[in-house]
Amino acid sequence: MFRHTLLLGAIALCLLCHALHTEGVRLRSTIQELKEDGQTKRILTSLKSNSIEMIAFGEDSSSWGQPYYAVHQTTSGGPGDNYYGLHVTTDVYSHNLKPGQQTSTAIWVNHVGNGVKSSLNTISIGWHIYPEHYGDSHPHLYTDWTRDGYAQTGCLNMDCPGFIRANGAVIAPGDVIHPVSGVPGGRVQNITLRLLKDKTSGDWWVYYGLNGIPTGVGYFPRSLFTYLAEKANHVAFGAFVDAEKALPTPPMGSGVLPNGGKGHAASFTNLQLIDKDGNNSPIKANLPELITKAKCHSITHIDHSQCLYGGPGGCV
Ligand SMILES: *[C@@H]1O[C@H](CO)[C@@H](O)[C@H](O)[C@H]1NC(C)=O
């Protein structure tokens, strides 16, 4: 029970930080839902001071609602919680979003550090539609990282030094992904993402493949990180959406709830963990879920290394 609460705290921390980072200034609105433990209280404190700064800069930090999550996550912080990578295949869809809406499907490797927010190390990669950032409503490949809970370090894509592109990479972080899946029930396009720690260099490599085998597109040097320089102790995959309070949440995945079934709802398939030596093992057992509001966006149990996720949105 105690451990469960702590775990929820840890993942809430990571996802919250991720949301805060990608959304810049939307700080205050995400505070409400995460109040279970001391760790969260510390976050609240730092968020409040950030909010004050933002208001001082004339930003309206309270205009965005809370993010809605539908994710699976491992346990974190225990002696058995050693992770060196994650591999998934997931569908990519296009939706018409407005500025003030974001939809994201991602995988995370984290080290929750010593429990203080400023020690959080995170890498996430995935696709998102984020008009405010890109000026369009296409899905983009994205990368994101930090080694200090997004206090001073890290950024999206190539917006700051960090990610190193590989020679001849088929795509760069921030690029549009196309083609994408059409209407639910139509042809489904998928991307395979692989994020793993290279055994020799210790760098975290990103692999990407559109409808096929992923190839290396670049890496985050080991030296960028503190705790993640050694290993991850928490991994997660899933999706989140967010919107300004005046707007409904946008679609997640294909825009169809998991009970729409395969081919309609978006999927994660071929879910695999990667060990220290770079060997894959299928994720067979279910992992804990974090679902903010199943009526709007959800994710199914893991079955045969697969699950379905998504939803129409419309939550306000
Ligand atoms: C991904 O797309 C390719 C090409 O359409 C297809 O052959 C493959 O089965 C798809 N993979 C999954 C897991 O849906």
Residue 87 CA to ligand 1 centre (angstroms): 15
Q: Any idea where the domains of the chain sit in the sequence? A: 4-310
Would you say the CB of residue 105 lies under 6 angstroms from ligand 1?
no
Would you say the CB of residue 89 lies under 6 angstroms from ligand 1?
yes
Q: Is the pTM of this model over 0.95?
A: no
Would you say the CB of residue 181 lies under 6 angstroms from ligand 1?
no
- HSE at residue 42, side-chain half, CA atoms within 13 A, is 14
Residue whose C-alpha is closest to residue 147's, from 114, 115, 174, 111: 111
The answer to which of 18-22, 37-41, 123-127, 175-179 has the lowest mean pLDDT is 37-41
User: What size, in residues, is the chain?
Assistant: 316
Cα gap 194→209, rounded to integer Å: 9
User: pLDDT per residue over 250-307, tens digit each?
Assistant: 999 999 999 999 889 999 999 999 999 999 999 999 999 999 999 999 999 999 999 9
User: pLDDT per residue over 194-243, tens digit each?
Assistant: 999 999 999 999 999 999 999 999 999 999 999 999 999 999 999 999 99
Residue whose C-alpha is closest to residue 88's, from 253, 271, 280: 271
The string of DSSP letters for 55-119 reads HHTT--TTSB---EEEEEE---SSTT--B-EEEEEEE-B---PPTTEEEEEEEEEEE-TTSSGGG
3-state SS, residue 221: coil
- When pLDDT is cut at 50, 70 and 90, the band that residue 188 belongs to is confident
Q: Which of 187, 211, 268, 270 to mutate to test the pocket of ligand 1 (most atoms within 8 A of CB)?
A: 211
Residue matched to tokens 């190839």: 215
Cα gap 232→132, rounded to integer Å: 31
Q: Which of 190, 304, 307 to mutate to test the pocket of ligand 1 (most atoms within 8 A of CB)?
A: 190
- HSE at residue 214, side-chain half, CA atoms within 13 A, is 20
Say what the pLDDT of residue 39 is: 33
Residue 190 CA to ligand 1 centre (angstroms): 6
Say what the pLDDT of residue 184 is: 59
Would you say the CB of residue 211 lies under 6 angstroms from ligand 1?
yes
Cα gap 42→32, rounded to integer Å: 13
Would you say the CB of residue 305 lies under 6 angstroms from ligand 1?
no
Say what the pLDDT of residue 4 is: 34
